[in-house]
Amino acid sequence: MSTEDFTARARIRDAAIKLFTERGMDKTSILDIAEAAGVSGGLIRHHFGSKDGLREACDTYVFDELLKFKEEVLAKGVANPGFLPTFDARQLLFRRYMGRAMIDGSEAAEAQFTEIVDGTEQYFREQGMDMPDPRGVAAALAAMTGGLMILQDHIARALGEEPGTHEAMLRMSMAAGHLFMNPLATPEVLEKARETLAAYQRKE
């Protein structure tokens, strides 16, 4: 692939990410993407085959970039407890994109969600964490963190922050971190809930 082809491919991908985030896939046409990227519709089909192929490529790219960002944040946080992540415009766009992809029913986003659950469950087991249903907890955690992406504009407005800003995302992330570190329910309340659910299951 020539440098020119690579540059065109990246322009198409970036334009599609922005438009899919703003409008959703169904309301975005190949011609819309071509116009935004400054290329022909034929070139999009040459590189990606179809709009579905383009969306899958966008999903994979965004997911990989968000994973790199997460790993970088974790590494810096371990090295420096005072480190706070910086959510630049690119990261904010990617988080909004993934939220939209989940709502739009992207098969790639669905597969990536399952991959996140798989990885989280594996981490729980490797760490020897004591929990009755590691996969259920992994799925719930993935859904909770994914929900922040999907609902971030609503959350920001409820907090009096400007949607799509570093300040809004940082505030959401810190609030979520507080919940993870400070459970709202006591161990006694959680055990009572488990007993109630177990009794309900026995009745079925």
Q: Which domain CATH number covers 142?
A: 1.10.357.10
d(CA 164, CA 97): 11
If one counts the domains in the chain, the total is 1
Q: Are 165 and 92 in contact (CB under 8 A)?
A: yes
Please tell me whether residue 45 adopts helix, strand or coil conformation. Answer: helix
Is residue 146 situated within a structural domain? yes
Specify burial of residue 112 (Cβ count, 10 A radius: 0-12, 13-18, 19+): buried
pLDDT tens track, the chain, 204 positions: 445 556 899 999 999 999 999 898 889 999 999 999 999 999 999 999 999 999 989 998 998 898 888 888 777 765 676 666 777 888 888 888 988 888 887 787 788 889 889 988 998 899 888 888 899 999 998 888 888 888 888 999 999 999 888 888 889 888 888 888 887 778 788 788 778 877 777 766
Question: Structure tokens of 22?
Answer: 């703003």
Is residue 204 situated within a structural domain? no
Provide the pLDDT for residue 158: 94
Closest residue by Cα to residue 55 from 87, 95, 21: 21
Angle value at C-alpha 26, between 101 and 29, nearest 5 degrees? 115
Q: Check residue 113 and report its DSSP letter.
A: H
Is residue 165 situated within a structural domain? no
Is residue 87 situated within a structural domain? yes
Is residue 198 situated within a structural domain? no
Is residue 193 situated within a structural domain? no
Question: Structure tokens of 23?
Answer: 């409008």
Domain around 62 = 3-150
Q: Are 23 and 36 in contact (CB under 8 A)?
A: no
Question: Structure tokens of 47?
Answer: 């590189």
The distance of Cα 127 from the centroid of its chain, to the nearest Å, equals 24
Closest residue by Cα to residue 109 from 150, 69, 165, 50: 150
Question: Structure tokens of 36?
Answer: 């935004």
Is residue 26 situated within a structural domain? yes
Is residue 195 situated within a structural domain? no
